[in-house]
Amino acid sequence: MNDTLHLLETRRSVAPVALTGPGPSPAELEALLRIGARVPDHGKLAPWRFIVFQGAARERAGDIVAAAFASREPGVDATRVAAERKRMTMAPLVIGVVSRAAPHVKIPEWEQELSAGAVCMNLLIAAKAMGYAGSWLTSWFSYDRSVLEQFGLAESERMAGFIHIGQATATPDDRPRPPLDSIVTHFAGEPS
C-alpha cells in the first residue's frame, strides 16, 4: 500500500485536548492553506475562505467564546466558562473554514457547501501528511451569530468547521466504521 493510501486508511481525528505545540511553521501553514483550497469547486466560485487563529489571538478568540457562553447560560459555574475559554487555545493552530455559499444562477448552494467540506478534509489530510494531527469541530459557537460576527463572518457566511492542528500527544484507537454492506448498494439497472 502506498503512503497516501496508508494515511487515508489509518488517519484518525485527535481531539484538541491531545494536541500540543509546536504547530506548523509559517511555510507549512501557507502550504496547508494552499492545499486546503485545492478542492473540487463547481463554477470556480471559491465559495469558502479561511480564518487563521494562532498565538495570542487564540486567547482573544477563547474570551469571545467564553463571554458568549456566559451570556447564554446566566449564572453558570465559572469552571464551565473556563472550559469554554480553552476551546480555541488547546491546539497551536486553528483554521476556521468559512462557507461563502450564496445563491447563484447555475451552481446550487448545496454544491458550494459540499466544496467547503472538501476544504476541511483536505486540511486534515495535509496536516497529517506533514506529521501533525488534527480534528474538525464545529462546537456550539459555529452556530452562534454573535461569536461568528466577532470572528469576522458576514451575516451570509457560515462556519464549515474549525480545524484544530498540532502535535498529537496521544492517538486514539480506531473507532468502528460502518460495514460496507450497510452503506453500499449496486445499482442493478432494473425496475425494483
Ligand X SMILES: Cc1cc2nc3c(=O)[nH]c(=O)nc-3n(C[C@H](O)[C@H](O)[C@H](O)COP(=O)(O)O)c2cc1C
**Chain residues that interact with ligand X, rule: CB under 6 A:** 12-13, 135-139, 161, 175
Residue 161 CB, nearest approach to ligand X (Å)? 5
- Tell me whether residue 30 or residue 140 sits nearer to ligand X (CB atom): 140
- Tell me whether residue 175 or residue 186 sits nearer to ligand X (CB atom): 175
Alpha-carbon distance of 170 to 50, in angstroms, equals 27
Question: Are residues 118 and 39 in contact, defined by beta-carbon separation less than 8 angstroms?
Answer: yes
Residue 42 CB, nearest approach to ligand X (Å)? 20
User: Given CA atoms 80, 84, 87, 88 in this order, what sign does their dihedral have?
Assistant: negative
Residue 14 CB, nearest approach to ligand X (Å)? 8
- Tell me whether residue 25 or residue 138 sits nearer to ligand X (CB atom): 138
Alpha-carbon distance of 160 to 173, in angstroms, equals 26
- Tell me whether residue 17 or residue 45 sits nearer to ligand X (CB atom): 17
Residue 124 CB, nearest approach to ligand X (Å)? 7
- Tell me whether residue 180 or residue 188 sits nearer to ligand X (CB atom): 180
Residue 140 CB, nearest approach to ligand X (Å)? 8
Cell numbers for 156? 451570509
The DSSP output letter for 18 is: G
Q: What are phi and psi of 19, to 5 degrees?
A: -115, 140
Residue nearest to ligand X (CB): 13
Q: What are phi and psi of 151, to 5 degrees?
A: -85, -5
